[in-house]
Structures are given as C-alpha cells and as structure tokens.
Chain A
Amino acid sequence: MTIALKATDLAKTFDIGKRLIGPPRAQVHAVHPVSFEVQTGETLGVVGESGCGKSTLARMLVGLLPPTSGSIEIEGRALDRADPAAFGRLIQYVFQDPVSSLNPRKTIRQIIEVPLRLLHGLRGKALDDRIAELFDAVNLRPEFLSRYPHEFSGGQAQRIGIARALAASPRIVILDEPVSALDVSVQAQVLNLLADLKAEFNLTYLFISHDLAVVEAVSDRIAVLYFGSIVETGPAEKVFAAPRHPYTSLLADSAPVVGRPLGGAQSGELPDPLNPPPGCAFAGRCPRASDVCRAKVPELRAVEGDQFVACHHPLDP
C-alpha cells in the first residue's frame, strides 16, 4: 500500500476584522494542527458537526485555501499548484450543494468540457467520446448535455458534479458532504454510484459528512473532528462499535434510531471559537472531564493498534 494523501500538522487560522495595515482584530483557529494519511484505494471518512472545520480542511487539501502552517503531500510530492493542469489531474472535489456548484449560465456540455479540454487537451471526436463515457459512468442520459443546471433535480445535479470531477481523471477525490442536500432515496443511489466508480477507476476518497451512518457505510477508516482537531481515528468498524473518545460516543448515541428512547441529556454546545477554552475543547460537555482536561490539551495517541484518541480519560472498549 502506498500513501495517496498525507497531511502533516496542517492548520488554518482565519483573521477576523482585517485592517488595511496592521494585525487583525482577532483570530479564529478553524483547523488546529492535524496530521493524517490516506492509503491509495482507501476511503477515509471525516465526521464532525457544523463548525468543526471539516470543510476548511477539505478546501486546503484541494488548494482552494492556503494553509496557515503544515504541509500536504500527494503521492509523495508536496502539494504544488504551480501547474493547475497537473494539479487538477491529481485531486478533485465534489461539492455539497450540487446546484450552486454548476454555473447557471452554462449548459452541462460546456461545464463538463472544461476539465477535459484544459487538463487533458481533448478536442473533437475524442472529447465527445469521453463525455459520452463519463455520462454513461454516472448513469445520465446524453440528451441532458444541452440543458442548463436549473433543469435538474438535486440527485441529477450531483451526478453531473461527480462527472465533472471524474472528467479530470483524478487519483484522489475529496467528497464534501456529497449527499447531505439529497433525499434519502436518491442519497443511496449516489452513494452506491460513488462506490462503483471508486472500484472502476481505482480512486482514493476522502469522504466528509456530518451523518455517521452514511460515513460508516462507505468508509474504511474514520477520523472524528471536533472544534478543529482530530479527536479520534481508527478503522470504521472499531470507531463506532467501540468509541474511545466521549465525543464519538455522544455522536453515536445522538443519531436517531428507531426503537431507542430519546436521550434527554443536556449535552451542551460548541465553545466560542473567538474565545476557546484552555485544555480539551470538549471538557465543557464531557461527563468524564477532570481538572487536567481543563488545563492541558490532550494529544492524539494510540490506544489499541491502529485506533488513536485525543483524550486524557478515554472510554473503555
């Protein structure tokens, strides 16, 4: 197994209240230094609630946001956007909102053509053949090509978005909440399509979602993000079957499941990002929190084989 994607101490800080000259008024640490690896052909699921920094992380990985510190390596080479064409052939992105990721004033053909022309230099017959092939792969009818984005339902628009990402023939695809805007019956279609495409084109996925059940259904390994840090990571079946971080456990217990009584526990809310607490960010909501949690930030450490957790008092398996 080779490493497809590697992030080392990747962090992003946003300046709030920028001034023309001088330092900003405040800073928000959207992503604290995080490190992880994705093996070739693997799906890494990233789970977290809104505001945990998962989209910021994704946008850094595809070069849409410059990281404040840390480094990204793709297939052993540092991320380099100097040649956009070479970069686009390595990694692509599928957006959360399928409709707003398509330019309303362009036809689907114009949208799909762009990566094929610019990244692969296709013209004429070769271009038409490749478009037909892509549309076939995502189960869309060829007559859609001359239509405009607003004529499509969410599920169809997301297939178009996936086709555009695949048009670049990337090695890695970052999927940022690709199904959260879709209805459940369509969501399953798109998830299955993604699984088929992965096998067919030998892709590596980074799958971001707030929905634990969805992530579990598609991922080999899982990283749980909370307040900009990875709090737990490990093989998918272990992380949810035997969560070691209290936050992962809270997430798993909060998912509505038929037949389980409502958990009425007051589980609190995210800390204020402008004024983060010292120590563990989850301490304010954690039933196991002790003095050390409120003073010292826990490091991510191995608890059992390939399962890592950032907690001073991890749960027993």
Chain B
Amino acid sequence: MSLFLRLLFRNKLAGFGAVVLGVIVLLALLTPILPLHLPNETNTANRFLRPMSEGHLLGTDHLGRDLLSRLMWGTRLSLAVGFAAALVAGLLGAAIGVMAGYFGGRTDNVTMRGVDMLMAFPYILLALAIVAVLGPGLLNALIAVAVVNIPFFARNIRGVTVGIAHREFIDAAKLAGMGHTRILLTEVVPNIVPVVVIAMSTTIGWMILETAGLSFLGLGSQPPQADLGSMLGEARSALITAPHTSIVPGVMILLIVMSVNLLGDGIRDALDPRLRSGALARPMATTRVERAEAPAPKGEGLLRIDDLETQFHVGSRIYKAVNKVSLDLKPGECLGLIGESGSGKSVTALSVMGLVASPPGVITGGAVRLEGRDLIGAPYEVLRSLRGRKVAYIFQDPLSTLHPLYHIGDQLIEAIRVHEHVTHAQAHERAVKLLEDVRIPNAGARAKAYPHELSGGMRQRVGIAMALANDPDIIIADEPTTALDVTVQAQILALLSDLRRDRGLAILFITHDFGVVGQLCDRVAVMYGGRIVEAGDTAEVLAAPAHPYTKRLIACVPELGGGRRELAAIPGLPPAVDDLPAGCAFAPRCDKAQTACRADEIDLTGDTHKVRCLYPEGAS
C-alpha cells in the first residue's frame, strides 16, 4: 500500500489531482455542518446578485438562492451519483465479463453479442430512452448512466478473464476439487480486482459528466433539488445577463472531472505491473558506464573482454551480474559460454555492444576491445556503426525479435540498408541470397512470409540470416537453440558450424547445454555467480573438469544410453548475485569446501586450462 502511494505521488499530476479531489470531497462531506444558507431558500428580491455580495459569497441565482450553498449541495449530490453509477456499472460489468470470459464458448458468444448491441446505441440516446421509460428523476438518471457504461466494463474484464481462465493455476484448482463458483470467487476475482479499479478510476469522471448532462436536460435531479447539471440548465437562460450563475457550476464540473481523470491515470500507472517495473522509463541507447579507468589489454585477439563488471542498480540493491569476466575470441574460433540461469552469461554478451538496458544496468569496470579498440563508453554513433556490421547477435526466441507486421524479406533488406548504401533491388537480391545461405527452401517466395507463418526452426534461420546480413566478423549467439526441438536444434547447429567454416566467423555461443558445447565449440568458459570458474579447450574441460562445479554440473546432465538411474544432483540453489558469499560462490554447495574457500576471493589460475578453485579436481 505504501509502495502504491509512493508510486502514485511520484506522478506529480496525479498528486495534484488527488489533492484537488480530496479537498472537493472533504468540502462536500462537510457541507451539512458548514454555516451556509439553505440551498432551496428563495428570495426573489435578491435575484442575480453578483459574486462577493454581502452574505452571498458567490452571488445568487434567478430565484435569489445562495449559489455557494447550492454549489456545495449540488457537488455532494453529483459526486455521490457519479460514484454510485461507477460502482454499479463496474460491479455488474465485471460480473458479466467474468462469467463470459471464464465459461467461454456459447455463454461468452451470446452475452458479448448482447453487450455489443447495447454498445451500438449512441450513449446519450440510450440514456434518454432509459429515462423516457423510467421517467425523469435522479435515481433513474443514475440507472441510465450505469447501464450505458456496463458494456465498457464487461468487455474490458472479459478480456482479462480469458487470459486468466487459461492459466495453469485454474486447471490446478479444478483438479484440487474446486467447483466453478469457488474458482471464480477465490482464484479469478482476486486477479481482476486491479483491472476493475483501474477501469473505474478512469471512468468516474466521465460518469459524473454524463449524469450532469442528463440533469442539464432536465431528466436528472428535479427542481428545487440542486445538482451541478441542473444548476447549469437553470442558468442557461441567463447566460448573457448573469454569466456567474453558469460559470460557478461549470468551473466545479471542470475541477472535478479533471482531478478525477488525473488521479485515475495515476492509479492506472501505479497499479499496472508492466508500468511499475519500469516500462515507462525509456532505456538509454547504450548501457550507462561508470568506470574509473580501462584496464591494460592483456593480449591480442579479435574480441577481448578484460575484467568486465556489469551491475544492476535497483533501489539500494546492487546485483553483480558480471564480476570481472575476461574472455578472448580469435578469428574463426567458437567459444562456448556455459552457465545456469542467473549466472551472468547473457549479460556478459549484451555488455559487449552496450545493449544492457540502462537503467538499471551499469558497466562499472573493465574493457571490451574489438580489434584493439575499447568499446566501453564509446559514443552511441560508434557502437551503432559496429552493431550488426562487426558484431551481430542471434537471440533465443526469434518470434519476439522479428517484427510481426513486416515480411521477413523486408526486415532483412532494412538490416542490410542500415549499414550499406545499396538500392532496394540490390538489397532484395542479397536478402534472398542470405535466406538461401541459411538453407530456407524456396527462398524467393519465403521472403514474402510473415514471421508467424514460419515454424520455430525456420524463424531461427531467419534470425541467423539477419545476423549475417552485414557480413560480421563475430556472431554472439545467446541460447539460439534452447526453444527448438532436438531434431531442429541439430539442423541449426550444423548450419552454424558450416557458416562458421565457410565465412571464417568467430562465434561466442551461450548455452546451458554441455552436449551442444561439446559438438560445436573449440574452447569453453563456465560461469557461476557472475564469474568465470573454469575455462579451457572444450575436449579437455569436458574430459577432465577441474572445478567441482563443472564436474558436478556435467554429472547432472542425463545422457542418452544410461538407462534408468538415480541422477547426480547438486544440492542447494545458485547464489543470488546481490548477496554473494565471501570467497568461492560455490562453496555453500560444494562437498570439498574448506575454511579457506570461504575466506577470500579466489583467482583464476592456470595457463590454457584455467580454474578458480583452491582444491581443483584431479590435483592431489
């Protein structure tokens, strides 16, 4: 709750709306005890007194009634009717939406078509029709406004409910013996409450306006009872001679509706989980750099990463996602970077081209040198000219990296023309050639396909073609086959291997699968808790792992042909990178850990086969 208020008031406009609305609501609540004239006390001798008159702060209306008093009582009534209408519309609409969304099928179809019919009428016509049938009166106006707004809520809530009704926890509840009523009340409703609140907060202003509109037409509150709409209606005939009688209720309506809408938007932003997690904060074009100075280069190489440190600063917490990582990649070489989720392997890869989202990502140290040139802190223009042209990425899920609304051919053409000045026709020719290179059958025709028309394996081939579009020297492949089936994975790996040989590509291959590394990579580096714990030639590391983590991780992976058996497991969980233990991060899970392991930082030692361990495997 305090988090919600903090988020709400971070938005200045919403805070302003909350204050204005708060004052108005407070005054409306206090109206009966304020020293005011009676709202319906007529005094025709004092008609149309100007504001600031003796005894009448805001003047009087055409019957000599005190405007301030009528305004306060009228505001009270309008607010009450508006809130009541929103509540009724919200509850009934949500109930209809939840039913339709949860039960689906015919129920859904029939109810929602009914709601659509209601929506097809112009709202004021429908409201007029309802009032015409029920007769004028404030209660009937309330009913009319509520009914008119039910479709809006029903449609909104139905959409959300459909999403929830297909979630697995609903299935689990069914299997736990729950009936429909109980599932609706205890599983579905708690999850849609925020949406109902958001929808209500953004429509209350509208409903107050609609009620005022009906009263203005004489269909809402009946004389002499004052509400804001009827005050405006009565003042209309004296608009020219006594404008203050119209302006006073008009300004009040403006203030109420404006403050309600500002507050409503604020509530929506604060409650929406996507906006809360920082989607409103636009990430910077490159990762923020806060580095004292670049470390001296430790050697040659096409791509050298030296002591890279990338952190995430969230509130007061610091997540050390990448902690002094050093890697090097030679031309034509394939380096495997292996680790479990949260080990920092993807962040390492994204840091190379400054692609870690900032905020919250910050590069706090180290250097990334491409052909000797440091990229950390390089201007955006420099990075942009290198992204795709020198270093290209392939991501895990091609469905989310390809644009769903453009042909794949057009996306390739765009990628080519970003870096090279060629005509559209030449680029198209290149695009088709690229699709052929990644062995997409019938490439010319497939260039006109949309991403959703392709299978997962074909989409990943397009992803690879995109990466190859500008003939880069280095490809960084971040779990490119994890989302694919094994038979398709084998095809993609073979393709990458061939491309690498044909084009002399260097590949940084990120994965969690030792089998894939063993088949594709020359060298491998193992990451754990943001650090490299072991690195060396693939065959050597896999045959004789020196770090206990590597050894036990390899043992965890079931291999085909082993038959039915108990698997080796590593007890415990990987460490949280905002709270790393002193010394070796693996020590709490390691059965060989000694006191020294938990004392100080341990260096990565060794010549070609490096290991970060005081008591490596195989050593006596």
Q: Which residues from A are CB-within-8-Å of B136?
A: none
B47 within 8 A of A: no
Separation in Å of the A172 CB from the closest CB of chain B?
12
Contacting pair B171 A188 (CB below 8 A): no
Residues 81-109 of chain B, each 1 if its beta carbon lies under 8 Å from chain A, else 0: 00000000000000000000000001001
Contacting pair A95 B172 (CB below 8 A): yes
List which B519-569 residues lie within 8 A (CB) of chain A: 519-520, 542, 552-553, 556-569
Known contacts A184-B340, A184-B557; is-contact A105 B486 (Cβ 8 Å): no
Contacting pair A114 B176 (CB below 8 A): yes
Segment of A260-268, A289-297, A298-306, A309-317 engaged in the interface with chain B: A260-268
Separation in Å of the A293 CB from the closest CB of chain B?
18
Segment of B124-132, B200-208, B488-496 engaged in the interface with chain A: B488-496
Contacting pair B177 A88 (CB below 8 A): yes
A92's closest neighbor in chain B, by CB? B175
Residues 149-191 of chain A, each 1 if its beta carbon lies under 8 Å from chain B, else 0: 0000111100001001001100000000000000111111101
Complex CA distance for A107 and B172, rounded to whole angstroms: 15
A258 within 8 A of B: yes
A214 within 8 A of B: yes
Segment of A22-30, A33-41, A130-138, A234-242 engaged in the interface with chain B: A234-242
A75 within 8 A of B: no
B187 within 8 A of A: yes
Contacting pair B557 A213 (CB below 8 A): yes
Q: Which residues from A are CB-within-8-Å of B566?
A: 192, 195
Separation in Å of the B208 CB from the closest CB of chain A?
31
B517's closest neighbor in chain A, by CB? A258
A189's closest neighbor in chain B, by CB? B569
Q: Which residues from B are CB-within-8-Å of A267?
A: 487, 490-491
Separation in Å of the A46 CB from the closest CB of chain B?
15
| Set A100, A115, A155, A191: member contacting B169, Cβ < 8 A | A100
Contacting pair A256 B565 (CB below 8 A): no
Q: Which residues from A are CB-within-8-Å of B494?
A: 262-265
Contacting pair A254 B487 (CB below 8 A): yes
Contacting pair B567 A191 (CB below 8 A): yes
Separation in Å of the B175 CB from the closest CB of chain A?
6
Number of interchain pairs (Cβ within 8 Å): 199
Complex CA distance for A93 and B490, rounded to whole angstroms: 31
Q: Which residues from B are CB-within-8-Å of A187?
A: 556
Separation in Å of the A181 CB from the closest CB of chain B?
10
Complex CA distance for A106 and B489, rounded to whole angstroms: 38
| Set B168, B186, B439, B573: member contacting A155, Cβ < 8 A | B573
Q: Which of B177, B340, B515, B556 has the most CB of A within 10 A?
A: B177
A122 within 8 A of B: no
Contacting pair B176 A88 (CB below 8 A): yes
List which B349-406 residues lie within 8 A (CB) of chain A: none
Residues 201-221 of chain A, each 1 if its beta carbon lies under 8 Å from chain B, else 0: 000000000111110111110
Contacting pair B557 A257 (CB below 8 A): no
Separation in Å of the A255 CB from the closest CB of chain B?
5
B443 within 8 A of A: no
Q: Which residues from B are CB-within-8-Å of A104?
A: 191
A73 within 8 A of B: no
List which B61-93 residues lie within 8 A (CB) of chain A: none
Known contacts A188-B568, A256-B515; is-contact A105 B177 (Cβ 8 Å): no
Contacting pair B455 A219 (CB below 8 A): no
A259 within 8 A of B: yes
Residues 139-180 of chain B, each 1 if its beta carbon lies under 8 Å from chain A, else 0: 000000000000000000000000000011101111111110
B439's closest neighbor in chain A, by CB? A266
Complex CA distance for A240 and B563, rounded to whole angstroms: 9
Contacting pair A103 B491 (CB below 8 A): no
Interface residues contributed by chain B, number (CB under 8 Å): 65
| Set A101, A188, A240, A255: member contacting B569, Cβ < 8 A | A188
B498 within 8 A of A: yes
A78 within 8 A of B: no
A1 within 8 A of B: no
Q: Which of B175, B190, B457 has the most CB of A within 10 A?
A: B175
Contacting pair B489 A216 (CB below 8 A): no
Contacting pair B491 A186 (CB below 8 A): no
Complex CA distance for A153 and B575, rounded to whole angstroms: 11
Separation in Å of the B229 CB from the closest CB of chain A?
40
Contacting pair A260 B191 (CB below 8 A): no
Contacting pair A213 B174 (CB below 8 A): no
Contacting pair A216 B177 (CB below 8 A): no
| Set B106, B439, B515: member contacting A258, Cβ < 8 A | B515
**Size range of the chain A interface in the assembly:** 35 or more
Contacting pair A220 B564 (CB below 8 A): yes
Separation in Å of the B480 CB from the closest CB of chain A?
13
Contacting pair A256 B489 (CB below 8 A): yes
Contacting pair B558 A210 (CB below 8 A): no
A145 within 8 A of B: no
Complex CA distance for A162 and B413, rounded to whole angstroms: 49
Known contacts A100-B167, A183-B512; is-contact A263 B490 (Cβ 8 Å): yes
A274 within 8 A of B: no
Residues 565-587 of chain B, each 1 if its beta carbon lies under 8 Å from chain A, else 0: 11111110110000000000000
B514 within 8 A of A: yes
B54 within 8 A of A: no
Q: Which residues from A are CB-within-8-Å of B456?
A: 50
Contacting pair A254 B490 (CB below 8 A): yes
A3 within 8 A of B: no
Contacting pair B560 A236 (CB below 8 A): no
List which A78-119 residues lie within 8 A (CB) of chain B: 84-85, 88, 92-93, 95-97, 100-106, 114-115, 118-119
Q: Which residues from B are CB-within-8-Å of A155?
A: 573
Q: Which residues from B are CB-within-8-Å of A240?
A: 560-561
Separation in Å of the A203 CB from the closest CB of chain B?
15
A191's closest neighbor in chain B, by CB? B567
| Set A97, A101, A254, A269: member contacting B489, Cβ < 8 A | A254
Known contacts A185-B570, A188-B567, A262-B519; is-contact A49 B485 (Cβ 8 Å): yes
Q: Which residues from B are CB-within-8-Å of A188?
A: 556, 558, 567-570
Q: Which of A185, A186, A191, A265 has the most CB of B within 10 A?
A: A185
Known contacts A241-B561, A256-B519; is-contact A114 B487 (Cβ 8 Å): no
Complex CA distance for A297 and B139, rounded to whole angstroms: 70
Contacting pair A264 B174 (CB below 8 A): no
Contacting pair A105 B190 (CB below 8 A): yes
Q: Which residues from B are CB-within-8-Å of A253?
A: 490
| Set A59, A103, A195, A256: member contacting B513, Cβ < 8 A | A256
A16 within 8 A of B: no
Contacting pair A252 B176 (CB below 8 A): no
Q: Which residues from A are CB-within-8-Å of B567?
A: 188, 191-192, 217
B341 within 8 A of A: yes
B588 within 8 A of A: no
Q: Which residues from B are CB-within-8-Å of A20?
A: 106, 109
Known contacts A100-B168, A220-B564; is-contact A62 B557 (Cβ 8 Å): no
Q: Which residues from A are CB-within-8-Å of B109?
A: 20
Q: Which residues from A are CB-within-8-Å of B172?
A: 93, 95, 101-102, 161, 164
A270's closest neighbor in chain B, by CB? B455
Contacting pair B485 A210 (CB below 8 A): yes
Contacting pair A93 B571 (CB below 8 A): no
Known contacts A114-B178, A254-B489; 4 further A-B pairs (Cβ under 8 A): A96-B168, A100-B169, A156-B573, A217-B567
The 4 closest A-B pairs by CB, nearest first: A256-B515, A258-B518, A188-B569, A118-B177
Write 30 A-B pairs (CB below 8 A) sorted by A numbering.
A59-B171, A64-B175, A96-B168, A101-B168, A102-B169, A105-B191, A106-B186, A114-B173, A114-B178, A119-B177, A156-B573, A164-B176, A183-B341, A184-B340, A184-B553, A185-B553, A188-B570, A191-B567, A192-B567, A213-B557, A216-B558, A216-B560, A217-B563, A252-B560, A254-B490, A256-B519, A257-B559, A258-B514, A264-B491, A267-B487
